[in-house]
Amino acid sequence: MKKTKIKIIFSTHLPEDENKKFVRHVNDTIGVDHSVYYYINHNQFSLPEIYNKAISEHNEENSIMVFCHNDITFKTQNWGKGLLAKFNNLDYQIIGVAGTTNMPESGQWWENRNRMMGAVEHTNGVRNWVSEYCNPFKGVKPAVLIDGLFMAVDCNDIVHDFDEEFKGFHFYDVSFCVPNYLDGCNIGVVYDLRILHNSIGMTNEEWDKNRLQFVEKYKDELPIDLED
């Protein structure tokens, strides 16, 4: 079925005025028919739990769902038009703005920077910089997985929902993409949807715990290489 609408989903612990500010930003930039749903979450739910709840409550056959952070700024105006066109004209089930064609045995997907794709702008509140992981390209490039900063998903055509074995706020993206990739879903990265992340992105103890959990769960599959 043709996709005509985008459902935006985010988890938040911010005050209501901040949540409404982000909703207004989406409304002002997306350029297509859409809805925005946010879930108040003061660490009582993992992101897989939140995202699966959103799928069960809001997914429709004519829509794609975008799971994203709420500390991002869309730099591309009318970004939803290009995104819907890609889902309608190309065979992809999961699309993001940064990703890789290789998942090493370590579970650290940015280990081989030469295999990364996409571009994300960052800020630390003082200066902005762009992390460009490859040369500019048009369309969609195939990937093994994408970063959870922005995940556009055709939830009617994936094999696996988010893996609730992974607690907290790390590896929800990797543990979602990898089983879907292994079972035949097409995952891709775009370059023409530009996002500013109001964070520099840091790993922590929870991230490493989830990484080890992922490595153990997929030890018989790793490394995963799109070029194999």
Q: What is the pLDDT of residues 89-115, one digit of tens each?
A: 999 999 999 999 999 999 999 899 999
pLDDT-derived band at 202, boundaries 50, 70, 90:
low
pLDDT tens figures, 52-68: 999 999 999 999 999 99
- The pLDDT of residue 44 is above 90: yes
Q: What percentage of the chain carries pLDDT values higher than 90?
A: 89
CA nearest neighbour of 184 among 201, 160, 202? 160
CB neighbours of residue 140 within 10 Å? 22
pLDDT tier for residue 199 given thresholds of 50, 70 and 90: confident
Domain annotation for the chain: domains and CATH numbers: 5-225 (3.90.550.10)
User: How far from chain centre, in Å, is Cα 218?
Assistant: 20
State CA 31 to chain mean position distance.
Answer: 20
Contact between residue 96 and residue 64 where contact means Cβ atoms under 8 Å apart: no
Q: What percent of the chain has pLDDT over 70?
A: 98
Give the pLDDT score at 228. 54
Q: What is the pLDDT of residue 65?
A: 98
Mean pLDDT taken over the chain: 95
The yes-or-no verdict on residue 195 having pLDDT over 70 is yes
Residue 158 and residue 127: Cα distance in Å, rounded? 38
Per-residue model confidence (pLDDT) at position 201: 67
Q: What is the pLDDT of residue 123?
A: 82
Over residues 184-193, the pLDDT tens digits come to 999 999 999 9
pLDDT value of position 216? 97
Specify the higher pLDDT residue, 27 or 126: 27
For 128-132, 158-162, 177-181, which range has the lowest pLDDT when averaged over its residues? 128-132
- Name the token pair of 42: 């003061």
